Amino acid sequence: MKEIWIPELISALFLLLFIFRPLIKGLWPLDGLNWFPLLALVITLGLFPAYGFRPECLPLLLYFAVLALLNLPSLHNDDFHDRGLGFILPAALLLVLAAAVALFFAPMDPTEKVTAPNIVMVRDERQNRNYTLRIFGPAEDTAESALAEPQQTPGRPLLLVIPPEAGGIRAVDTLCANLADRGFTVISYSRRGFDSLAPDKLSRMWQSFRNGTVSKKANDFGRALETGRMEDLNFLLPHIKRNSAALVPGADPETLIIAGFGAGGAAAVYLASSPAIMAQNRQLRGIVTVESGFWSSYSEEERIPRSIPATTNWFKKTGSAVQNWFANLRPLKMTGLGTVQRPVIPTLYLVSDRALEGVAQTQYAAAFDLLQKPGPAPAALIALKGAGPLDYTDYPVEYSLYSALFPGQGEKTGLRGQDFIENTTAVITGFAAAVLQAPDTLRQGATRADYHLLTRSWEDSPWNLRDLRGILNP
């Protein structure tokens, strides 16, 4: 039984006793039942400081709040006999629906304890920015081991995980721990002030996700996120390499894979498309992008004002000027893909299976363009069957309601929760094994989900991603 079910069921029981009191004579003398709606509200409010923000409890919280407010007069004037079936049946039905959402989408009890990461604070003095690094790896990969004797065996590959904008580092903690168990030293990070979840920012993220290929305003916000992530990488990549002995003493600073969610994946691709930047970051061997929109790759329409010949009379000039003024008020739109920069190192594009159902012409158009047209390095695109846009994060386990609200196109074939994290771990590890030629330090694993795989490779390449299918299902 999930622990959070206990207070949820207790609060629901209080409301059931309150609602059905008029029909059960044995409950009539119990005047204290009038306080049960308020008591249920207090219990539900206590869930949030105890378990963190629980979106599946919001319908229950709203229902209890409304019922407690409506019941305030009854605290002094007990009129429960006046409540007939017109109140009892709808109230009971709403309670069942709200409780069902809270119970069904409750977080799963962890099957195993996730090792706590090593947390390091880093400051970018030039940009006046503060970063929090979360480093996952074996127990010996700590700062104290930096003074130990040099290791004779090859270091663990470094994996830099750029978290999604919605959820930040907390949305990938379990994934990072699983990747560390496969043989990586994993670093995820957050930047103070940038990775905030203010309601207005979440709203703009949603608009960018929904309309970033259509509306310039929505696209501009997506571009701003990508620019911010590029600035993060410009600072973090050299910082990690310079300070690797202290930060990640058990890792190989010359072997780095980036797994970037959303804007982070796009930013990594843009940086890896620059020969000058890659010359300074030769440790970067491959990139995994997860649900990246590549908003900076789209072109916006141009405003072409109506020309006003000098010989035009004042009346027509005024009319044309007014038309131009109104035309400038119209929001600009995006006209489609422009120049899509191509990375010079192997790249894997991990997308929802919604990309296979016609949506490829919208928010996934850039990813397909990067894959299908010739480029300087091999590339692959993988869509796990049934995976929605959020299913490559910890959300299927921690916030399954979000996963249900943003489903994939295909059936999940019985896979839930931890299975999606394991599948994502297997995909990233398999790609890294192909790029790094399967070092002994990586433990590969098979995916349990069906998947769609597209590759762009060639036989004489030092990397051959065509064998990725065999790596994912050994």
**What's the chain's length in residues?**
474
pLDDT in the model for residue 413: 60
Pseudo-torsion of CA 280, 282, 288, 292, nearest 10°? 20
* Structural contact between residues 382 and 87, judged by C-beta atoms closer than 8 angstroms: no
More confident residue, 357 or 458: 357
What tens digit of pLDDT does each residue of 147-198 get? Answer: 444 445 568 999 999 999 887 888 899 999 999 999 999 999 999 888 877 7
* Structural contact between residues 281 and 254, judged by C-beta atoms closer than 8 angstroms: no
Tokens of 187: 């670093």
Residues with Cβ within 8 Å of residue 445, at least 6 apart in sequence: 182, 422, 425, 426, 429
Q: Which of 341, 403, 327 is closest to 370 using CA atoms?
A: 341
What tens digit of pLDDT does each residue of 419-442 get? Answer: 888 889 999 998 998 888 866 778
pLDDT in the model for residue 169: 87
More confident residue, 417 or 353: 353
H-type alpha helices, 330-376: 365-372
* Structural contact between residues 94 and 12, judged by C-beta atoms closer than 8 angstroms: no
Q: Which of 433, 404, 431 is closest to 420 using CA atoms?
A: 404
Give all strands of the β-sheet with 347-352 in edge-to-edge order: 118-124, 129-136, 185-191, 156-162, 251-261, 284-290, 347-352, 379-384, 451-456
What tens digit of pLDDT does each residue of 205-257 get? Answer: 888 888 888 888 989 999 999 999 999 999 999 999 999 999 999 899 999 99
Q: Is the pLDDT of residue 259 over 50?
A: yes
C-alpha 68/C-alpha 71 separation (Å) is 5
Q: Which of 263, 245, 265 is closest to 254 using CA atoms?
A: 245
Residue 262: helix, strand or coil by DSSP? coil
pLDDT in the model for residue 443: 81
N-terminal to C-terminal alpha carbon distance within the chain: 35
Q: Which of 176, 166, 168 is closest to 132 using CA atoms?
A: 168
Identity of residue 32: G
Question: DSSP assignment of 113-165, as one string?
Answer: PPPPPEEEEEEETTTTEEEEEEEE--TT-SGGGGGSPPPSSPPEEEEEEE--T
pLDDT in the model for residue 71: 84
* Structural contact between residues 388 and 449, judged by C-beta atoms closer than 8 angstroms: no
